[in-house]
Amino acid sequence: MSAGVGVDGRIAELLALGAATVHEASGGGGALPHELRPVHPLALAGRALPVRCPPGDNLALHEALDVAAPGEVIVATCGDAVDHGYWGEVMAVAALARGLAGLVIEGCVRDSAALAALGFPVYARGLCVRGTGKDAAASRSVGDPVQFGDVTVRRGDAVIGDGDGVVVVAAADVDAVRGAARRRAEREQEQFAQLRAGATTMDLLGLRPDGGT
């Protein structure tokens, strides 16, 4: 796994530690819905650029491409209208030219073969050939916080995505979570050694009701 151009080294380290470890190190917070899966097996890491699209409309994504900074990940909501291809090859080429690190969208995308060939990381609910509108009068936002269930995503938050899912870490918490994730990873390595030496998970995790062995 590797982070994109312009990505903060601290966020790249979170990616190396893995989304599941980062989630646990965050106290079990920050996980985006499990339906958001990688369109192709490409990890992503970067700073969030939140986008709110009107249902069935992707003008806000084009506006985001106009203002995005290198290393940012577009993190987009689109209401209940999931079944549209909000993103495709043209937008991925534009995103790569601007140095973006990926896309996370609660809707669908299209041009999957081209996205794979380009190597642009996309996490979405699925694929759909249905197009979108571009209504300049529709309510939308770029850069304002967006909500995924109980997770609020703000511009500058760390976004980590791998085969296990996507997790968001508040910008102010990156250093603390990175330290906790390191410790968790080190502890797991010690547990692996103990397991290979004959210990059981019941013992290592203190799962026996009487505390015995």
CB 115 within 8 A of CB 40: yes
pLDDT, residue 212, reads: 57
The residue type found at 107 is: G
pLDDT, residue 2, reads: 45
Q: Which residues contact 213 (CB under 8 A, 6 or more apart)?
A: 203
CA angle, 82 then 84 then 90, to 5°: 130
Q: What is the mean pLDDT of each run of 10 residues along the chain (213 residues)?
A: 61 96 95 96 97 97 97 95 96 97 97 96 97 95 96 97 97 96 95 94 87 56
Report DSSP letters for 84-123, one per residue: SB---HHHHHHHHHTT--EEEESSEE--HHHHHHHT--EE
| Helix/strand number for the chain, H first, E second | 7, 12
Q: Which residues contact 64 (CB under 8 A, 6 or more apart)?
A: 49, 51, 74, 76, 142
pLDDT, residue 209, reads: 83
Residues found in the chain: 213
Of the candidates 67, 60, 30, the one whose C-alpha atom is nearest the C-alpha of residue 150 is: 30
Q: What is the DSSP letter of 204?
A: H
Query: Is residue 196 helix, strand or coil?
Result: helix
Residue 62's Cβ-side half-sphere holds a number of Cα atoms within 13 Å equal to 11
Residue 37 corresponds to which tokens in the numbers above?
Answer: 């899966």
pLDDT, residue 145, reads: 98
pLDDT, residue 8, reads: 82
CATH topology of domain 9-171: Glucose Oxidase; domain 1 (3.50.30)
CA separation for the pair 29, 78 (Å, rounded)? 22
pTM of the model: 0.91
pLDDT, residue 147, reads: 96
The residue type found at 46 is: G
